[in-house]
Structure 1
Amino acid sequence: TYSYMRSKKKSTVIGPTCTQGGHNPLPLSGICPQSNETFIFPGMHDVPSGQAPIHRWAPWFTVEWIFYYISDPTNIPPYFPVPKGNYTCTHGRTYYDDTTSQGRCMREVYDQRCIPIFFSDVLSINNNYSCDFLNVGATKTAYLILHDDRPKDAPECCIIGQPFHPPPRNFSDNLYIKKASTIEVK
């Protein structure tokens, strides 16, 4: 065990506690605690009751991406070719497979900076290290895999969530948007 990864509290969560049904069960209320109640779920309303869910992702895929970290909440998309103002970024890949006999599996690779979702202990100081997330469908377990550039005292691997699963292919049905949100194309 890694005693320095534990919080002083009796029980603590290292990773995100609510992911709108993307990685863990959607709360009975249909919305995560501390979420703004002015949000709606656009995808939930376009499938008639009794109809099978619409799968918006392919059964398996690999995608390469660039993730921008922007601390200024007024700096909103579109970003072309890159965000204005201060930002950092990382390159990475997502491997997704919903065709295995072991259930849905997913691996995310962050090459330069880990996604900043850790709010306590050793990993919260900064996100200037590479990391992988491995979501194993059969065990409903999410692992964080750290590499040689990990923070001092951080383990090479730890469980960050259980139950925790790769997003279902129709997970975007549970994402929320502000009611007043609009997308303007110029």
Structure 2
Amino acid sequence: MTLTLSFGAHAQQPSDVYSTYGVHNPPSDSPCTFPTCVYAREPGQPTDPHYPAYWSSNWTMYRVFNGYVENPPPYDGAPPSALKPSQDYEVSRGATYYDSTWHGPAGAGAMMEHYEDRCLPIFPISNHFSCSFISLGDVAFFVTYAKDRPQGMPPVCLFSPLNHPPRRDFISHLPYSAGDSARLGNRVQGYSFWIGHADGKPMQVGVSPDRTKDQAIMFGYAFDSQPTPDRVDKSAPPYRHPQSFYFSGYPLPPANAPIVSQNYTNFAMIKPDPKTTWDLVNKLDPKTLPACQLFNPPAGALAIPNAGRAPTWGDLGK
């Protein structure tokens, strides 16, 4: 299935406000298929799952660099057995903490994604370091750690002044993919699209066929199809748990991450502890922080010349 309908020009924003198609900032900031960046579900498609009001989860991240065309996500845990660890993909780990009930000066909602030893590989730099993204209201911070911080990178920088945590109903901004869902026997509800690099507009629903060679960028998410009880809060009604977040990383060296999948483990309605999450940045004034420059690192930080770069999420809609 392809997408051809689009509506007008989106708002021109500063370079550190990114097109997120309604997930992290207003619809006006992205060249969406529909003005609201919301997909109405068609007859026969499942209803949309929602995040719990707050939760915590570990996850395993698979950075797939070989065989991804023939073995697309979503994955049921590790990639299919045709792909071999180290030879075709790398395994790392992290955790996400989410609280939609948080309120602060910059707005509502808090989220922290922590990547241990391997940072999010969507930037044209090596990801061999630990990092965290923390969004408090509309402001998103990027945190690195003394144990493995890259030379010249600040402990905290401003990732974006307009990048809030996904709302509980964020999945409404992604098209349902019957193909993604069927790949795991419809045990999951898969949602994904590819974005064209030239105009930043959604161009294809579903991961397959792979469009990495076309310099397109993919964003996908899967929830379990069947509601199940929460692992910790036994009084909560059963709900459809998040299964995986799958997406295009930076496809060339040094990141070498054409396809990435974060598969959730130990998901539960545990309210995050501010002392180990939000308090890392909560007292900082975003106006005093340096810009991160992750999508466009300073000269000398890239392993390849700028002329040889592939498009990144930071280029979409620019």
Superposition pairs for residues 124-163 of structure 1, below 5 Å?
A: 124-137=124-137, 140-148=138-146, 149-163=148-162
Alignment pair present for 1:100 and 2:102: yes
Alignment pair present for 1:46 and 2:46: no
Shift of 1:128: 0.9
Partner SS, residue 115 of structure 1: coil
* Closer, same or farther: CA 22–129 of 1 in aligned 2, 3 Å: same
* Closer, same or farther: CA 55–169 of 1 in aligned 2, 3 Å: farther
Shift of 1:167: 0.5
Structure with more relative contact order (C-alpha pairs < 8 Å, separation 6 or more): 1
* Closer, same or farther: CA 77–150 of 1 in aligned 2, 3 Å: same
Paired residue for 1:116? 121
TM-score using structure 1 length = 0.69
Shift of 1:78: 5.4
CA contact (8 A) 1:111 1:131 kept: yes
Partner SS, residue 173 of structure 1: helix
Partner SS, residue 32 of structure 2: coil
Partner SS, residue 152 of structure 2: coil
Cα distance in 2, alignment partners of residues 141 and 17 from structure 1: 12
Corresponding letter in the other structure for 1:58: P
Residue by residue, what CA displacement relative to the aligned partner does 1:16-62 show, whole Å, maximum 9, x if unpaired? Answer: 82222221222464249xxxxxxxx8x72139xxxxxx770000000
Cα distance in 2, alignment partners of residues 60 and 183 from structure 1: 29
* Closer, same or farther: CA 81–169 of 1 in aligned 2, 3 Å: closer
Corresponding letter in the other structure for 2:136: V
Residue by residue, what CA displacement relative to the aligned partner does 1:136-166 show, whole Å, maximum 9, x if unpaired? Answer: 11xx110000012121111111011111100
Matched-pair identity in %? 30
Cα distance in 2, alignment partners of residues 156 and 164 from structure 1: 19
CA contact (8 A) 1:144 1:158 kept: yes
* Closer, same or farther: CA 117–24 of 1 in aligned 2, 3 Å: farther
Cα distance in 2, alignment partners of residues 31 and 143 from structure 1: 29
Paired residue for 2:214? none
Cα distance in 2, alignment partners of residues 66 and 134 from structure 1: 19
User: What is the root-mean-square deviation of aligned Cα atoms in Å?
Assistant: 3.1
Paired residue for 1:36? none
Corresponding letter in the other structure for 2:63: Y
CA contact (8 A) 1:90 1:113 kept: yes
Cα distance in 2, alignment partners of residues 128 and 19 from structure 1: 25
Cα distance in 2, alignment partners of residues 159 and 133 from structure 1: 10
Unaligned runs of 5+ residues in structure 1 are 1-10, 33-40, 48-53, 119-123
Shift of 1:175: 1.5
CA contact (8 A) 1:23 1:167 kept: yes
Q: For this pair of structures, how many residues does the alignment match?
A: 153
Which of 98-107 and 59-68 deviates more? 98-107
Shift of 1:173: 0.9
Unaligned runs of 5+ residues in structure 2 are 1-13, 43-47, 187-318
